[in-house]
Amino acid sequence: GAGVDVQAHQFQYPSVEGDANIVLHFSKAGVEQGIVKAVTEASEAAIKAKGSFTLVLSGGSLLNFLSGLADSKKISSWDKWHIYYVDERNVPHTSPDSNHKGACTAFLSKVPIPAANQHAILENVPVDQAAKHYEGMLIGTPTTILPRNSDGLPVFDLMLLGTGPDGHIASLFPNAPQTAATSGWVLPVSNSPKPPPERITFTLPVINAAKEIIFVASGEEKAEVVQRILEIQALPGALPAQLVRPSQGTLRWFLDVQSAQKLDISNWEDRKAFPRTT
């Protein structure tokens, strides 16, 4: 009869509802300035509250917006910063595919954050081992630096995310098993749809446990995916970015005019029109 042998769909939207705070900048340079300001403010608040600041980075074009941090005159407590990666490619740190190398080029090599506080992937091991090592490193981090929430998940101070044209975040791709995972902190990816194929990635529960998440998108090439994520209700799992809803934290989008050009924000209050389905 009805309800017998029913299994829940592997992808589920979070039970937490929340508003996406859109911060619109006139230009790409404005986005960069906004990110520097947001990171600076988050670091000051975290260091004042607990004596340390945890910053989680994504890869790709996002890293290009961080170069202004090295020029900031308002940041002095670099030794209290801890850098993590929401995902990383299973490649040497010297590889051009390495997110850690990209972060070093953008700002890490120019600021006095201790090397021990820059938490890069373990090199030259199988991807399964790399994921286990990274998760073990997180678990072993003192809770004075990386607190846990009521579910036992790590609470990072600030997480910066980008999104691909398919709506993926970190290395959580549309309809992939890692995207549906409800347990674990860090998972291996051995068959990424975009090269390189081997990666490690935070799970969605860990991402959604962050104190603050900022999505960053700039340029006309991001306009379509931004519009799809923010205005079109896709099937769960089809646009992983739509599954990012911090359980107790805040979510903001930093956009420039070009990446926001297809949005119809003025009509978002019309509940009959938004979110649309397609």
Environment class of 79 (CB within 10 Å of its CB; exposed 0-12, middle 13-18, buried 19+): exposed
The rounded distance, in Å, linking the Cα atoms of 55 and 118 is 10
Query: What distance in Å separates the CA atoms of residue 87 and residue 56, rounded to the nearest whole number?
Result: 9
pLDDT at 218 over 80: yes
Does residue 89 carry a pLDDT above 50?
Answer: yes
**Are residues 217 and 226 in contact, defined by beta-carbon separation less than 8 angstroms?**
yes
CA-nearest of 52, 64, 124 to 93 is 124
Q: Is the pLDDT of residue 111 over 90?
A: yes
| pLDDT(2) > 90 | no
Q: Percentage of residues in the chain with pLDDT exceeding 70?
A: 90
Rounded to 5°, the CA angle 5-6-11 comes to 140
Q: Which two tokens stand for residue 198?
A: 């081997």
Q: Given this model, what pLDDT does residue 123 score?
A: 97
What is the reported pLDDT for 72? 86
User: Given this model, what pLDDT does residue 15 score?
Assistant: 57
Residue of 242 and 276 predicted with greater confidence: 242
Tokens coding 203: 């799970």
Query: Cis bond leading into 275, ω under 30°?
Result: yes
3-class SS at 16?
Answer: coil
The pLDDT confidence band at residue 6, using thresholds 50, 70 and 90, is very low
Whether residue 255 is predicted with pLDDT greater than 90 in this model: the reply is: yes
93 contacts 100 by C-beta, under 8 angstroms? yes
Find residue 54's DSSP bridge partners: 82
Considering the entire predicted model, what is its pTM? 0.91
> Is 266 a residue whose pLDDT tops 80?
no
- Segment 155-206, tens digit of pLDDT: 999 999 999 999 999 999 999 999 999 999 999 999 999 999 999 999 999 9
Walk me through the domains of the chain, giving residue ranges and CATH numbers. 28-69+77-267 (3.40.50.1360)
222: which DSSP letter? G
* Average pLDDT for 250-262: 95
Mean pLDDT of 11-28: 74
Higher pLDDT, 41 or 15: 41
> What is d(CA 77, CA 86) in angstroms, rounded to the nearest whole number?
23
Question: DSSP letter at 51?
Answer: S
Residue 139's pLDDT band, with cuts at 50, 70 and 90, is very high
